[in-house]
Structure 1
């Protein structure tokens, strides 16, 4: 039975070319099943948080693959958003120099790969489009110049640095959570007058650049001269979770970390990972991870972007369902920690096993298993992964300020904190 399920999963069609959603959202989202491996980061460091300084030489690197191959007429625009990612509803003249849209003209065809695809890339700012104010931005890619044919929406940030953020990771102040949660305390140092910090300033705290974990702070605990302190006992608590699981497919000639078998033919490549076990019980085990990140790599060829293979990766989790009303998913930054049909796990109740076959590009991947509780409408990793305050996580803090009389919120402060919480 198990072999039959595995065979069926390997031959499940991994691309269904249905009509796309006709409406853009201001979240990280792919609207077409043939679009894969959307990357967006500060060009200075691969897979870094996509934050660049306003009026600097820094740029955003953005790319994606089209598994239908050939050449498409992809266009893009950018939109300014508020701290909560709702549209700022201001004219593009207020936040852009140059044009408000342009065509993506840089593309290359894959070579020496079983599955053919086309790789597209873009750099922002560029000679056509330059954001001129700080804030949240959404890059929107659409087909044939028609915004009713959305392809990708991708968030990035322009920092107009006016405030410094000092932060620390500590244990939760709640006694019952001290072994499983981490708390973020931070201070905003500023030299500009803020007439009403309770109304004009917002600070968003996020764990591992996972937007599902975002906490919006609007009320500082203390207001001091040129300082706003956020250390309330009951706020900014995060589950410590566990170190991410990982696998290595940089080479398809040899079995890398956590790879059990590799199957290839003239039409496809399939990778079977070793079966995973739940980690919710037992002691914390420290291991190096990339805090949910992933990196496209191909040591069998010369060009990671166009010579890396696309693979069907089989995940297996040996665990009973945590509840009768819910679904399990494989998540990581490779899918923006979202829950979709592409990364949903099938459940074999008889064997108490979950399975999923996901198409991914060759490289190094962090991942974890999450459970969506249909009764509470919450996403939980604790049933499969456990949660420990010793886990190393990264935290991002974004500070937004709306000047008196201004029509938009500006990103004026940012820090990326990565600490190892010591055992106390």
Structure 2
């Protein structure tokens, strides 16, 4: 046990300096191991969803760290996308009223940290990059002005509010799922002419801004004058899941929430969390969480962005493997709920324990455990976290409209709601 523990605890990820030609994928993705802590949010509220209004004063804040430190020649551009995140295949002249690309010149070096890094940051729209139509956008960051050297791809949204969306969260209409699932019913009120809502309009609903949960609605249950109702009994059901687990590394001088121990050496600070247990059996336990979000914080320094330490965080889950062929992962918004070798857990079958060490910047983090069943080709949190209707979740509804004869889809409506009376984000 001790041997396994120390191998994992003091494992320091190797950063590769090599950059091979790749192509961008239309998802939130980091292409280089030295890039960490990608942030993208509406500048009005830290870590809010990256959604802004068209032709408004609102901006998107985008930032990331380079653990190779020094200064790199990073460039960026944006591309308009369809509602299902494919290229719109229109000219940049159609969606930009400015230049096509620009270099990131706003950067700062870390200070008072064991591991050195450089923090890069931009704000969109700006004088160089300014979208002029609504819709889905992909921000692309690449090296040395070469689009074939991708660094980061990041999704964000620009809304041209032309419809009003009212929505509610209720129990699933399926009797067997009423204690485990939540259902979203919503209504679109519009004054714009929609001649064929089955073809021209599309609504995308997702839970906790996790794109893996997205459900697409193309057929309203009822069509009324200036109103479309989506309340079909068999659509927009979501597993309630559970409240997120969390830990607090805002200070490395003391052990805060869920931190069992802190180890230091010359190269890296390591944080050991208390061991977790499955929550799929038993009653629902309500607790405050951030719906999967995370916040970079450092109470020992003055600047969260450049004085926060990078720590190796050891996760331990005491649970048997749910099936014979699969892997367990730690997921949250900090890694866009993706499954990668970085957040995959090792399994000790003799002790029925999962282990993993992830390099994370100081702060407050929500997380949960997901199981990828390779035989069934499914990814679920229920085997470790359970599912309860009472769980507080946030839901996002995006309304896309393609006018007859138009060459692209526009984002004409958006709402963010919670199944609790107050928004706790």
For this structure pair, what is the TM-score category when the shorter chain's length is used for normalisation?
over 0.9
Displacement, 1:54?
0.2
* Paired position in structure 2 for 1:13: 12
Give yes or no for contact 1:249–1:364 (8 Å, CA) kept in 2. Answer: yes
Q: Deviations over 1:151-207 (max 9, x none)?
A: 000000000110011000000000000000000000011001101000000000000
Q: C-alpha separation between the residues in 1 aligned to 2:20 and 2:372?
A: 24
The alignment covers a number of residue pairs equal to 421
Q: C-alpha separation between the residues in 1 aligned to 2:166 and 2:337?
A: 27
Give yes or no for contact 2:10–2:270 (8 Å, CA) kept in 1. Answer: no
| 2:423 is aligned with 1:411 | no
Displacement, 1:16?
3.6
Give yes or no for contact 1:389–1:421 (8 Å, CA) kept in 2. Answer: no
| 2:400 is aligned with 1:400 | yes
SS in 1 for 2:5: helix
Q: C-alpha separation between the residues in 2 aligned to 1:284 and 1:420?
A: 16
* Paired position in structure 1 for 2:71: 71
Give yes or no for contact 1:39–1:64 (8 Å, CA) kept in 2. Answer: yes
Give yes or no for contact 1:391–1:420 (8 Å, CA) kept in 2. Answer: no
Q: C-alpha separation between the residues in 2 aligned to 1:109 and 1:327?
A: 37
* 1:16-415 mapped onto 2 (5 Å cutoff): 16-17=15-16, 19=19, 22-415=22-415
Unaligned runs of 5+ in 2: none
Give yes or no for contact 1:65–1:119 (8 Å, CA) kept in 2. Answer: yes
SS in 1 for 2:6: helix
SS in 1 for 2:157: strand
Q: C-alpha separation between the residues in 2 aligned to 1:38 and 1:216?
A: 27
Q: C-alpha separation between the residues in 2 aligned to 1:309 and 1:16?
A: 17
TM-score (norm 1): 0.98
Q: Deviations over 1:353-396 (max 9, x none)?
A: 00000000000000000000101211110000000000000000
Q: C-alpha separation between the residues in 2 aligned to 1:347 and 1:420?
A: 37
Give yes or no for contact 2:246–2:289 (8 Å, CA) kept in 1. Answer: yes
Q: C-alpha separation between the residues in 1 aligned to 2:406 and 2:261?
A: 58
Q: C-alpha separation between the residues in 1 aligned to 2:211 and 2:33?
A: 22
Give yes or no for contact 2:38–2:64 (8 Å, CA) kept in 1. Answer: yes
Displacement, 1:107?
0.1
Give yes or no for contact 1:25–1:153 (8 Å, CA) kept in 2. Answer: yes
Give yes or no for contact 1:332–1:367 (8 Å, CA) kept in 2. Answer: yes
Q: C-alpha separation between the residues in 2 aligned to 1:168 and 1:377?
A: 31
TM-score (norm 2): 0.98
SS in 1 for 2:93: helix
Q: C-alpha separation between the residues in 2 aligned to 1:48 and 1:132?
A: 22
Q: C-alpha separation between the residues in 2 aligned to 1:261 and 1:194?
A: 59
Give yes or no for contact 2:12–2:268 (8 Å, CA) kept in 1. Answer: no
SS in 1 for 2:130: strand
SS in 2 for 1:277: coil
Give yes or no for contact 1:390–1:421 (8 Å, CA) kept in 2. Answer: no
Bigger shift: residues 329-338 or 7-16: 7-16
Give yes or no for contact 2:28–2:153 (8 Å, CA) kept in 1. Answer: yes
Displacement, 1:84?
0.1
Bigger shift: residues 113-122 or 7-16: 7-16
Q: C-alpha separation between the residues in 2 aligned to 1:122 and 1:191?
A: 36
Superposed CA RMSD: 1.1
